[in-house]
Amino acid sequence: MKKLLHLATLLVAVALFAAACGTGAAPSPTASPVATVPPSAAPSPTPEATPNASPEPSPTIVPLFSKEGTLTIWVDGGRVKIMQALGEQFTAKYGVPVVVQELGFGDVRDQLKIAGPANEGPDIIIGAHDWLGELVSNGLLAPLNLGAKAKSFDPVGLKALSYDGKLYGLPYLTEAIALYYNKDLVPNPPKTWKELKAIAQKLQDDKKVEQGYVLQQADPYHSYPIFSGFGGYIFGRDASGSYDATDLGLDSPGGIAAAKEIESMIKSGLLRADVNYEVMMTLFKEGKSAMFMTGPWALNDVRAAKVNYGVAKIPKMTEAARPFVGVQGFMVSAFGKNQLLAETFLTEYIATDETMQALYDAVPNAPAWLPLRAKVTDKDIAVFAQSAADGDPMPAIPQMSSVWEAWSKAITLIYQQQQPAEQAIKDAAETIRQQIAASQ
């Protein structure tokens, strides 16, 4: 009897252990799909960056590494299904097995940085162009040659995915923010910034909304159109069009004008502190705000909310407002064991009309594949594509990481009215210059 009991205990223990192993090995659900998060960029309070910064237990699974003869691809949750389907088709056609590993969008980059020094890595990742500085300077990506296929890609995308004159990615989509507006409250989208402010003020005065226009607080990414619209810039460009880290334009007259504009909107109640991405979305979806700016990742959310919405280009300020453009693409790991095969997978299989169409159908976005872009009929996506075409590629140079932090701090200080706008932005620029000088 006693023995039986022992045996039973042992069996339970083994079962539990097996169960624990089982759940440990299964790909755990990771951060929100890319479709709902803004580009990787900002280490600032964007919805994507917040879960990253917090010490939440991110998936502790050990990602699958590349093995010779098997293509291993790391993608975020939003694209796992489509990549698995594409992988199966590739296997059927070429007889090469494809393994798709799901990771959170930012985890793809972080895990690559951990795997590389151990001589491991996937073959292919899907990443954002502004990771390039970090990944290439650490020797984690292999240069890519698209051959004759290159001319079918948006040149902005190719340029964004190049670093030090070499191409490191196959561009797949470009994204930039635009203005969402509630057609019931704002029949015609504002053409100028003055107009936008007047509409917002009127709606607030008439108590039709809580906040006529909302902008995510302290977030450089969503605030950049105001900076560029008032003539500010982040880094100047050298003769070849690359960003020049020695020419910081945050505290240029235009940058200061933009900071003062934000300050005056705070003072007149047109902008509010303590708004984050969730508040911004909730207010709009409940009809409590009439306008806000964000990217195509919010489309599904807004559509589901049954708001009579429209998407328009960002209104003109003293000059045309240019949003940051993010480019996502397929990149080849320097530690993959099948680099030639990986490159062939991209040029022969991904860079085709059918695959690009399938990728678009899975996650609608402004495609970087020109033959497909010509065919996009979704008018919202068309606006976002136009916005991206007129935007500035987010700087990918490593010095940009200094900028995000200090810039975000300056905007927070302005929002919270802890410091005059001009002083805050000048302090930030000074900090960034010191850090760039120190790191050289």
Binding of another protein at residue 7 (CB under 8 A)? Answer: no
Smallest separation, CB 102 to another protein (Å)? 22
Amino acid at the residue 208:
K
Q: If you search the block for the tokens 């470009």, which residue do you land on?
A: 174
Binding of another protein at residue 68 (CB under 8 A)? Answer: yes
Among 89, 300, 357, 401, binds another protein (CB under 8 A): 401
Angle between helices 400-415 and 220-229 (to 10 degrees): 80
Among 116, 189, 212, 329, binds another protein (CB under 8 A): 116
User: Of 120, 161, 103, which is closest to residue 333 (Cα–Cα)?
Assistant: 120
Number of amino acids touching another protein (CB under 8 A): 64
The burial of 159, by beta-carbon neighbours within 10 Å (0-12 exposed, 13-18 middle, 19 or more buried), is given as: middle
Binding of another protein at residue 431 (CB under 8 A)? Answer: yes
Binding span for another protein by CB under 8 A among 23-31, 186-194, 227-235, 415-423 = 415-423
Binding of another protein at residue 338 (CB under 8 A)? Answer: yes
Among 3, 5, 22, 95, binds another protein (CB under 8 A): 95
Between 113 and 159, CB nearer to another protein: 113
Binding of another protein at residue 287 (CB under 8 A)? Answer: no
Among 347, 355, 365, 387, binds another protein (CB under 8 A): 347
User: 179-218 mask for another protein (x: CB under 8 A)?
Assistant: ----------------------------------------
DSSP code string of 135-192: HHHTT-EE----GGGGGGB-HHHHHHTEETTEE-EEEEEEE--EEEEETTT-SS--SB
Among 36, 84, 138, 386, binds another protein (CB under 8 A): 138
Binding span for another protein by CB under 8 A among 129-137, 185-193, 239-247, 299-307 = 129-137
- Write out the binding residues for another protein, residues 148-167 only, by CB under 8 A: none
Q: Which residues pair with 171 in a beta bridge?
A: 329
How many whole angstroms separate alpha carbon 260 and alpha carbon 253? 10
The phi-psi region of residue 189 (left if phi > 0; otherwise alpha if psi is between -120 and 50; otherwise beta) is: beta
Quick one: tokens of 78?
């939003």
How many whole angstroms separate alpha carbon 330 and alpha carbon 328? 7
Binding of another protein at residue 120 (CB under 8 A)? Answer: no
Binding of another protein at residue 395 (CB under 8 A)? Answer: no
DSSP code string of 234-273: SEEE-TTS-EEEEEE-TTSHHHHHHHHHHHHHHHTTSS-T
How many whole angstroms separate alpha carbon 373 and alpha carbon 140? 31
Interface ranges with another protein (CB under 8 A): 43, 45, 53-56, 68-69, 93-96, 113, 116-117, 119, 134, 136-140, 145, 147, 272-275, 279, 282, 334, 337-341, 343-344, 347-348, 398, 401-406, 409, 412-413, 415-416, 418-419, 423-424, 427, 430-432, 434-435, 438-439
